[in-house]
Chains A and B, each alone.
Chain A
Amino acid sequence: MASGWVERVSAFCGSPSRFLCGTSSEVFLAELLRELRDDRANYNVKVLLLSPLCEYPALLCPSDSVGEETALELMSIFAQSPPKFVHFRSQLLVALTCVLTCSPDASSRLRAFPDFLDLLLQLAQDTSDLHGDAAQRSLRATACDCLREMEVLYPGLLSQRLELLGALRHQETSRLHQAYAGLQTLVLRNVVYLLTGEKEAGAVHLKALLGGNESVGWEADQNLGAASGKNSTPLSSVILTPMGTIPTLHTGPDCKELRSVLSSLLEESYLFTPLSQAERLYRLTEVVAMVPAIPPTIFRAQLLRLLGTSEVSLLHTTLLMKSAFTDSLFSSEDEAFLLKRLVVLSQHPLLSAPEKLFYMDCILHFPENRPISCGDSDEALPVLLTPRLASALLPVVFNDSATLLARFNLLSLVYLEAGEEEDGRGLEYLYDHLTSLLRIVESGGKRESIVTLFRAAFLFLFHFHHVERYCDNLSQQLCQLYLQHTRFAPHLINLANQTQEKLPDSPWAFGLLKALQRVISQTPLSQVTRHDLSWHLKVLTRAAEEGEMSQHATLRFLSGVITPSSLSWSADWRLGNGILGVCRRLLVHPSLDSILIPLADVLQHLAGHYGDTDIRDHARLYYTLLTTLSREKLATVLAHHAEGGQQVKKRTLSCLMTEGEGLTSILTIHETEAAIFRLIETHWEQPEAEDLIQDETERGEADLETYRAQFGDAAFASQVTLKFLLTHTETRDARFDQLFSIRLHFSLTDDHYSELQDLSVPCLFRERPPPVVALTLKPKQPYPTSLHVSAIFTTQDGLTWHTTLPDIHVCFQQIFLPLPAPSSWGRTGRQAVFAGLWEEISGETEECASSLFCCRLEEEALSALVEKHFLPFLVSDPAHKDQFRVLLFLPPQSHVLLKISSEEDAVHFNIATDSWQLLPHINDYLLEITAS
């Protein structure tokens, strides 16, 4: 049992959506709660059972009422659980917090909420464990955690308890004082923040909340009113407000109470764990920032300790304090010291790589006392960071790639700032470094070092694109690298694209592509391998996109490639496609006039002599286009081509062939935004009532055994067929008026049915009558169900789409079939089966059950009801109105038998079934039909 739960819970938490396909959230929640209530269950398992509620409370309690019930249930489990299971009780508090706060309706708070809050406060104050079991304290700690989370979710919720929390912290000498301090600090910060919203009374209220005058405190609560705790939006950082303005609370110079609370919290901060200390200090920084009457120097005593710390979060808090208080807390010496410290830490051998990267980021966003640039720009160097100081962070080849790039970027900024463009040694160093990266990649670096090289190259260009001597040299070096490793073509093209995009004024990318075109065209073809050639063609394709670039060299290369004497590679489709790709770009090149003849020659040669028919055809098409169309027309045709125009013909293979932009959209499956069409039930027809009166002559022996024997064939009477109309939804979108090759896919939401086959519909036009779709269901258990439906289809312009249809609901009565008796049997035979089954079921074997359903109906109404709903399933003669006998068959092998008769006070539906699980569904169904 226990192991089963371990797997189920982990399956649920790993992927709730998949898990809930097999069951429903109500069922799972009910099972969880049942097991939690079970006294025999192991408490370790019970702890595990709480995790779905902790992780996905909103999924398991989709409505407030379910949340409410679940919470009450959990509270009673808590009340009954023995105190020694501290672990379980703690987890239970966490689960309750999650269930009570994650109700779907954010505005309302569940009724159990105040009770739970009282419970938490009570637990937090329960110091009866003082000399007792140490583990007991962890329940108190958890209660504090829950309170803290609730205060975060509903700022001001605990504002009235501020004094109590202070007292609890004060008394506590065990490690738990940290939990109280955390809670107190948070509540204090929220209270101060909420009071900043009040014009004048703020100071008085704060005093009251801190210092015990209860009547005033009460009044303050009234005033905090709208804000306190009813606000369900958690506060983001106060210092980080988007407008850069900090709300202030004007208290006047006299705020002794606040000052004394702050000092005592600061004094004890040393006793907190670093994480908690950082959090507290940050919250207190926020408080002091909001209350101008408290001087930031209140932090002074902590500073030296914080400046020397090895703990990343504590030093970070110090930086955040500096950002909030600038020179009112930090002298210029402090500032210089901090910056040096950051440089040291950014390359400290004992720190981890993530910490060092973080410190480098801090240098780039250093909170200066008097920043020169007022902008909120992304990265800015602090004035004090001189090239000399920064030289400690020069990149070296032994750095990991993230560190290397971060250092490269930082130093680039430093040298740019220092104006090192002309013979600066720093810049020279950076360039040398880039070269050594290049050497490493040249001699066979891994993927990561290749990417690092290109990123470093981009950074260099981005900062120093105007320093020609380096940039030209870089182009040359990259060309050499390319010749040795043509597989870097995509990286080079990417580099060219990015520099062109990010530095539109720089001619560097153009220069690189031109240089690449030159080295490719100058390479003797005898030295070019098949592999190189395909990369060369990719690079030339990109170069052909440059309107300013002369394309003669490219054409020379192409005509060399297709000349039979040099063609040492097999002239296959791929190669031809690569060549055509270049030609395709050349056809729209602005200098087409000057390359017309060599281009025509290449195309003609391909059309006449190339080894692949398909390539010959396409070359011929291009040749014809080139020689017969005017330039403008050609450009229009091919531009349409590239944009993926409206006509199917234009965008098929020729587009695919030449890797036009249309290719991606053709090969992609697009997702529709809304449902395009849906399945509507055809007016649900009951199976025809067979005319049995005609056929009174019995043929063959009619008994239960013969009837049962039919089921020897597994396929016998195992399916239900439902018919639907496939129609457009109301949303009109002309693109979807005519749809083709629709393939409907059905997926189950439970395991009561066998997997369904996909269905194909040839076409769907908005104007024409909707096609009928027959869906065959094969139940494993004949219960009502829902089906998810999706479809893939093609639109007129040749694009493929995927869409989701509204779910289909299969109701209980749709699964009814008449008794599948042999066709030769008449009414007598069927009645015999009815009688036989009834007798068997009355014997009450395992799965069988009988039941009675009563309702008030007039005799006429009853006849009408039988006629309307049960005629096809009627076994008795319809003329015998004193008792109707109805037999519902539900595939694969369930029966529901009804004897319906009018008794003196009511109509009795005597029910017998060989599958007791069907009873609730029958009951629902009978309720439904008798109600109308």
Chain B
Amino acid sequence: MSLRALWIISPEKGEHASIRFSRRFATVELRAKRLAGSSYVAVPEDDCFLQLLLTELGLSGSKQPFVVKRDDCLYRPRSPAVELHVTVDASPEQRPPLSSLLSVSQGLSFLAGLQTFLLAPGSKQDGEGLVSRLALLPSVLLQVCPLGTPLELPLSGTLATPSAPTSAGIQKQPAWRTGLHRGRAVVNVSVAETVRSMQYGNRSRQDLWDVYGTVACKCEVEGVLPNVTVTLSLPPNGSPLQDILVHPCVTSLDSSVLTASSVDSCDGSAFSGPYKFPFSPPLEPFILCSYTSQVPVPPILGSYQLKEEESQLHVSVVLKLHESVKNSFEYCEAHLPFYNRDQMGVVDVKVSSGQLDVSKEKNLLVWALGQKFPKSREVTMEGKILFSGTAPGPSEPLCTGLTAYIKLYFKVPDTTLSGCSVDQHSVQVYSSAKPRIVTSRELHSKDYRIWNSTGTAPVSSGQMIL
């Protein structure tokens, strides 16, 4: 992949944006020119480019209801803001499909890497962090793509100054390993699972939930090309891990690890571990692998019912924690937003456990359930809300009438739904010094919604219906 030009643009208030950084690559431009011949189109100057981009992204002219260039109903999945007619990978006569150009995926990786670099941890998006990162960018580009053809990504940590010079050994140092670790060997492996759910409380519509996990590693071990093996294991009756994706530093894979897929019909005889991942770790923390899993039940099953009674809304909620899930939360909160109504006036609602708050804006009930469900593993909320506030609350086109939802936010340390775990003793490190090995697990929720069963909930996945 070769870049003809690179711009870093940040949006500003209203319909403005500014170019924070721009760089052109003259030799790549020359190649484009020679390849394109008479159909050559030069890269426009900064201002002109910015204007075209804003129009394409629909960030300018919001006052006009219909702008053909922006709002035409023709489906244009690959429409560029500026068509330069020619890529430096293909001759000008062609406009090949994107999937045949390696540059496209490389470009995606490069841009994602650049974004990670610019928004590195500790720097807020528009704060000083970004400014200092932008100041570093010219020297970073000199390292990763002096002439527009990157072979590596900007390192998200500090600048690529090797932490220690490498000795001339026989083993070659991987290009993605920026230096050597000296000091105590520590290997840290943490499994984090995320559960998503859509519950409708409705017979005609099946509830949905899914679980996906990531295994993050930080390995501080000595050696030019150290060898580490992490093994994931499941409980005896656990359902197999599916859709496994691995980090490029994994040296080899058993084909059975890749067989289970979420889009396949589940096969009882499928391989269910242990899953071995031999790899040579980079210096920085990384995601060793990710997977999805099909678990038989959602961790919290809820029901939500709203009834319109004259000017009041009758609310009734039941949440049940499944018995297989550890009853020990870091936090657990239920949020009940109300849209397209006036602000809440009188709130006469009782909860069987936990604490209830009305948000400052008076359009949201926050039910903090604390660290534990009661012994019965069930909590309820019952009561009436009068929307007699003076000002109208927020609007949301999805939630009109009785279409409403509860969103659950929770985190359970030291557990996974799939049962997947990394045993401390299963982590093998081939090195002289015996490393300290730390493993951990956690489960948290994302997009965990329970829809009001008396309203019409939007379809959130077609797969289950068909």
Contact = CB atoms under 8 A, between A and B. Distances in A.
Contacts of A278: 102, 105-106
Interface in B154-188: 161-162, 165-166, 168-178
Nearest to A343: B263
Interface string B16-43: 0001001111110011001100000000
A98 B27 contact: yes
Interface of A, helix, strand, loop or mixed by DSSP: helix
B90 A358 contact: no
Nearest to A399: B460
Interface in B249-305: 250-253, 255, 257-258, 261-264, 287, 289-290, 292
Given A277-B248, A396-B459, A458-B74, A444 B106 contact: no
A915 interface: no
A444 B119 CA distance: 34
Given A308-B244, A391-B462, A449-B397, A344 B146 contact: no
A206 interface: no
Contacts of B255: 304
A392 B248 contact: no
A277 B466 CA distance: 41
Using C-beta atoms within 8 Å of the partner chain, give the interface range for chain B. 35 or more
Given A14-B45, A309-B245, A440 B397 contact: yes
Contact of A389 (B27, B263, B290, B447): B263
A134 interface: yes
Contact of B73 (A270, A305, A498): A498
A135 B447 CA distance: 47
A535 B416 CA distance: 57
B347 interface: no
A51 B112 contact: no
A647 interface: no
Contacts of B178: 175
A431 to B, nearest CB: 12
Given A14-B19, A455-B74, A56 B166 contact: no
Interface string A866-883: 000000000000000000
A251 interface: no
B461 interface: yes
A357 B77 CA distance: 9
Using C-beta atoms within 8 Å of the partner chain, give the interface range for chain A. 35 or more
B91 A236 contact: yes
A91 interface: yes
B35 A275 contact: no
Nearest to A53: B26
A361 B108 CA distance: 14
A337 B258 CA distance: 9
B146 A142 contact: yes
Interface string A176-192: 01110010000000000
Contact of A242 (B74, B91, B108, B261): B91
Given A309-B248, A448-B58, A149 B27 contact: yes
A240 B290 contact: no
A458 B75 contact: yes
A392 B463 contact: yes
Interface in B178-221: 178, 194, 196, 210, 212, 214
Given A90-B146, A490-B65, A173 B89 contact: no
Interface stretch (A401-409, A539-547, A812-820): A401-409
A304 B72 contact: no
Nearest to A309: B248
B245 A308 contact: yes
User: Which of B62, B253, B395 has the most A CB atoms < 10 Å from its CB?
Assistant: B253
B142 A91 contact: yes
Contacts of B71: 447, 450-451, 454, 490-491, 494
A173 B224 CA distance: 10
A53 B12 CA distance: 31
A887 interface: no
Contact of A17 (B45, B106, B243): B45
A426 interface: yes
A314 B245 CA distance: 12
A585 interface: no
Interface stretch (A317-325, A697-705, A716-724): A317-325
A620 interface: no
B47 A15 contact: yes
Contacts of A304: 252-253, 255, 258
Interface string A407-439: 001000000000000000110010011001000
A98 B72 CA distance: 42
Nearest to A16: B45
B248 A47 contact: no
A271 B175 contact: yes
A307 B261 CA distance: 13
B97 interface: yes
B139 A87 contact: yes
Contact of B253 (A149, A234, A305, A316): A305
Contact of B65 (A429, A432, A487): A487
Contacts of A480: none
Interface stretch (A110-118, A345-353, A595-603, A659-667): A345-353
Nearest to A497: B73
B62 A447 contact: yes
A270 B397 contact: no
Contacts of B400: 443
Contact of B458 (A97, A242, A397, A409): A397
A405 B77 contact: yes
A271 B196 CA distance: 37
A316 B102 contact: yes
Contacts of B24: 13, 55-56
Nearest to B170: A173
Contact of A153 (B27, B165, B212): B27
Interface in A601-642: none
Nearest to A495: B73
Nearest to B196: A349
User: Which of A106, A237, A341, A451 has the most B CB atoms < 10 Å from its CB?
Assistant: A237
A140 interface: no
Contacts of B90: 236-237, 240
A722 B368 CA distance: 84
A797 interface: no
A917 B240 CA distance: 84
B149 A149 contact: yes
A152 B30 CA distance: 11
Nearest to B70: A451
Leading 9 A-B pairs by shortest Cβ distance: A394-B462, A490-B66, A310-B245, A316-B105, A178-B175, A276-B151, A454-B73, A273-B152, A365-B99
10 contacts: A13-B22, A14-B46, A47-B139, A56-B26, A149-B147, A278-B106, A312-B105, A354-B112, A358-B104, A405-B77
Interface of A: 13-17, 47-48, 51, 54-58, 87, 90-91, 93-94, 97-98, 101-102, 106, 130-131, 133-135, 138, 141-142, 145-146, 148-149, 152-153, 172-175, 177-179, 182, 232-234, 236-237, 240-242, 268, 270-279, 282, 304-305, 307-317, 319-320, 323, 337, 340-341, 343-345, 348-350, 352, 354-355, 357-358, 361-362, 364-365, 378-379, 387, 389, 391-392, 394-398, 402, 405-406, 409, 425-426, 429, 432-433, 436, 440-441, 443-451, 454-455, 457-459, 462, 487, 490-491, 494-495, 498, 502
Interface of B: 1-2, 19, 22-27, 30-31, 34-35, 45-47, 58, 62, 65-66, 68, 70-75, 77-78, 88-91, 93-94, 96-102, 104-106, 108-112, 138-139, 142-143, 146-147, 149-153, 161-162, 165-166, 168-178, 194, 196, 210, 212, 214, 224-225, 243-248, 250-253, 255, 257-258, 261-264, 287, 289-290, 292, 340, 395, 397-398, 400, 447, 458-463, 465-466
Given A101-B27, A305-B252, A357-B77, 19 more contacts: A14-B47, A55-B23, A102-B27, A130-B168, A173-B168, A175-B178, A234-B35, A236-B90, A242-B93, A270-B174, A270-B251, A275-B150, A278-B105, A282-B102, A309-B247, A348-B292, A392-B463, A397-B398, A409-B75
